[in-house]
A and B are shown apart, each in its own frame.
Chain A
Amino acid sequence: MEVENQTFSMNKQKKVSRKLKRLQFMIERDTGTSCNQTATQNLVICNAGLVNGLSQEILYEHFSKHGSVIDIRLVPGKSYCFVSFSNVDSAINAYNEFNGKLKICQDNKPMYLLYIQVLPEVNSLYMWDKLPLGLILCDDFITSDEESTLLELCNFNTELIGIMKNRLVKHFGYEFRYDINNVDKTKPLNETIPCECNFLWKRLSDSDVKSGFKDFNPDQLTVNHYSPGQGIPHHIDTHSAFEDPIICLSLGSPVVMEFKNQDKHVCVLLPRRSLLIMSEESRYAWSHGIVPRKFDVIKNDSVTGYTSLKRGTRVSFTFRKILNGECKCNYKEKCDSGNNKQALENSVASKLEKLHVHEIYQNIAHHFSDTRHKPWPNVLKFIQSLDMGSIVIDVGCGNGKYLGNKDIYDIGCDYSSQLVSICKFRGYEVCVADCLKIPLRDDIADAALSIAVIHHLANEMRRLEALKEIVRVLKVGGKALIYVWAHEQIKNEEKSSYLKQDRKNRKKIDISDNSPSNIETIILPDGCVSFPVHTNRKEFKAQDVLVPWKLKDENKSTFLRYYHVFDEDELVTMCKKLSNVRIETSYYDQGNVCVILEKIQ
């Protein structure tokens, strides 16, 4: 987006005028409106539009410098668009400065302008006036004093604000889990919705808004803190998770929320202190989201047409009522109820593992290896209990911390070729392999190790597959030792060694973490998934998390590894699903959940 200031050479002028003729012909043919040789207040941007990534915000930013913009028409699927000024002089100024010079699009080519008599009637992408069915906006629903009271309820750590890339989130009543886009209805949080919010429902009931909301009695609240520039990806609140309606209070700053349903695209300005009710079609069939940007362009009914609105810090309170039973909506194509989709699909899980496990270990292999030298005593004890001449497979061997034992034949495998190379350099026998596809014959290993591996698999089916694969290569009577990271990092008042590594935590202080989570959205080819980013050396606030690894390089690069941390009985429950094993023992060891299995047939 830069303006070139040199004047055109003769040659270039000829080229430009030929180009303009072609564009003019195309636009006249498409819209049936003729272009003008003399200046008007209306401009066509001939070679920039929605198809090459132009947005009304970018257009407004540049054109509003020359006067009051009263109309912007972006045409879906077209590489041209229209801008109107309130007077001809503004249009002339914009024409002179931008024509053949302003590079505004993704392809970084200069734009070409033409004058046009009237703006053609086109199906513009954005609609402003017609709200989706069931969407109700109540302006000035609360007073400034009430706004302040509510903002004080949720003290966001101001140090975090501004350095975090993503919005901050805090839950009351039930935790909303971004991995499964649902709540665990069996696990209410200790913190319920603060009673300071109760007046809202009385007020809603007393208002002249539809009677259907008189009994609204939410039990789940999500507070989102958006700094300017932050947004939320488009989503429909999971049908099976919540009832109708969903109610959202905007505090601190206005914002434009976008609603989409098929090819319809509606922008709604949510003023500060307004209450938004999403019910019926708008709750079940329309997705909503906030584009991450620092200002919004707003269309209003006055003569000025478009104005821009700088975003401030916005806090939203979204109130929802947990749904018990099945969703009974009439929007089946958008409904998840009944198919019980609690887990990530395999294709999504495997792509997530590729990006947030495999590629990360490739990148951090050397630094990771430098921090992994002290073997865990109970793992060593297991290895030392094996007979001479045992064949042992270490599935997910990392840097080979448990390889190279005397009098046994141990083979390591790992998905990361970088880590495997480190093992080879240390003289160990290794191969690069996937723990879901161990390249060994059935029934050949006397023992298997899976230390801190299975928690990197992103759905339960895959974690179970990994266990099955280990059991497959074991011979009958062979044993496997499985370690996975525990959700619970404090057991019997004793902090795990992981927590103790933070010096502050060695003293008797509270390691509980009530601060809001930083939610990271991962964009995958089939859609996006979001997880909270774990704060190192703190308790886990969710079971599916991204754990940061900070390299000690110049850039202090941070990598986010995906983990599913295990609840107390979860590993044993999974092992019981395998018919051919006996659980020899299960225990908790320094923040890990562990089992020893024996293959019995």
Chain B
Amino acid sequence: MKLLTHNMLTSKCIRGVNVGYPLSINASDVRVADVDFNPDFISRMIPKIDWPVLYNAVERLGHVEDLPKETPVNYESNEDFLKKAHHALLEVEIIHGELVCPESGRKFPINNGIPNMLLNEDEI
């Protein structure tokens, strides 16, 4: 699971959970994959995502390197920044671990890169 996906996932569908975001990550296996860099694609993605959530996620996984805490001004033309964002959003992948609901503590397993977000009958 890529961190761009994590940036959008929530556990708000659990009954009694209001926001369910961001999900905290416990990862036991993290890999870095090579993904073709497309600066245009990344700069269009930046305004759609929650940057602090992305930053905290890469930090938690120990892949923060020198990603800035905040998005710089005029990032569209800042190729160095876009490459770092590209790496964090698309190249760092969680293979095994779990996502944890911040409100209920409910854990969602991640196996072979696939988070299982199904709920039990009594949770909906």
Contact = CB atoms under 8 A, between A and B. Distances in A.
B114 A424 contact: yes
A388 interface: yes
Nearest to A434: B118
B119 interface: yes
Interface in A351-387: 387
Nearest to A437: B13
A550 B65 CA distance: 53
Interface string B40-55: 1101110010000000
B114 A421 contact: yes
Interface residues on B, range: 20 to 34
Given A407-B41, A429-B2, A420 B117 contact: no
Nearest to A389: B44
Contacts of B48: 389, 391, 444
A138 B121 CA distance: 51
A142 interface: no
Contact of A421 (B43, B112, B118): B112
23 contacts: A350-B121, A388-B41, A389-B41, A389-B43, A389-B44, A389-B45, A391-B45, A407-B41, A424-B112, A424-B114, A429-B4, A431-B9, A432-B115, A432-B118, A434-B119, A439-B10, A439-B11, A439-B13, A440-B8, A441-B9, A441-B12, A444-B8, A444-B48
A503 to B, nearest CB: 39
Given A413-B117, A432-B115, A434-B117, 19 more contacts: A350-B121, A388-B41, A389-B45, A391-B48, A409-B4, A411-B5, A417-B114, A429-B1, A429-B2, A431-B5, A431-B9, A432-B117, A433-B118, A437-B13, A437-B124, A439-B9, A440-B9, A441-B12, A444-B8
A424 B48 CA distance: 24
A433 B114 CA distance: 11
Contact of A417 (B12, B13, B116): B116
Interface of A: 350, 387-389, 391, 407, 409, 411, 413, 415, 417, 420-421, 424, 429-434, 436-441, 444
Contacts of B12: 441
Given A407-B38, A407-B41, A431 B8 contact: no
Nearest to A445: B8
Given A432-B116, A432-B117, A434-B118, A388 B40 contact: yes
A413 B41 CA distance: 22
B21 interface: yes
Interface in B5-39: 5, 8-13, 21, 38
Contacts of A429: 1-2, 4-5
Interface string B98-124: 000000000000001111111101001
Contacts of A407: 38, 41
Contacts of A411: 5, 8
Interface string B55-99: 000000000000000000000000000000000000000000000
A411 B3 CA distance: 12
A65 B9 CA distance: 69
Given A391-B48, A409-B45, A434-B119, A441 B114 contact: no
A441 B112 contact: no
B96 to A, nearest CB: 13
A415 B38 CA distance: 32
Nearest to B113: A424
B114 A420 contact: yes
Contact of A430 (B21, B114, B118, B119): B114
B8 A415 contact: no
B11 to A, nearest CB: 7
A441 B115 contact: no
Contacts of A409: 4, 45
Contacts of B4: 409, 429
Given A431-B5, A438-B13, A439-B9, A388 B115 contact: no
A424 B115 CA distance: 11
A431 B1 contact: yes
B20 to A, nearest CB: 8
Nearest to B110: A431
A408 to B, nearest CB: 8
Contacts of B113: 424
B2 A437 contact: no
Contact of B117 (A389, A391, A433): A433
Contacts of B38: 407
Contacts of B11: 439
Contacts of A424: 112-114
A444 to B, nearest CB: 5
Given A391-B48, A437-B119, A444-B48, A431 B114 contact: yes
Contact of B8 (A388, A389, A421, A441): A441
A462 to B, nearest CB: 12
B83 to A, nearest CB: 16
A430 B110 CA distance: 11
Contacts of B9: 431, 439-441
Nearest to B19: A441
A411 B48 CA distance: 15
Contacts of A389: 40-41, 43-45, 48
Nearest to A413: B117
A282 B75 CA distance: 79
Nearest to A440: B8
Nearest to A438: B13
B115 A431 contact: yes
A389 B8 CA distance: 15
B89 to A, nearest CB: 9
B82 to A, nearest CB: 12
A393 to B, nearest CB: 9
Contacts of A387: 44
A440 B13 CA distance: 9
Contacts of A444: 8, 48
Of all A-B residue pairs in the complex, the 10 with the closest CB atoms, nearest first, are: A389-B44, A437-B13, A439-B117, A433-B117, A432-B116, A431-B115, A441-B10, A440-B8, A389-B41, A444-B8
A159 B98 CA distance: 55
Contacts of B40: 388-389
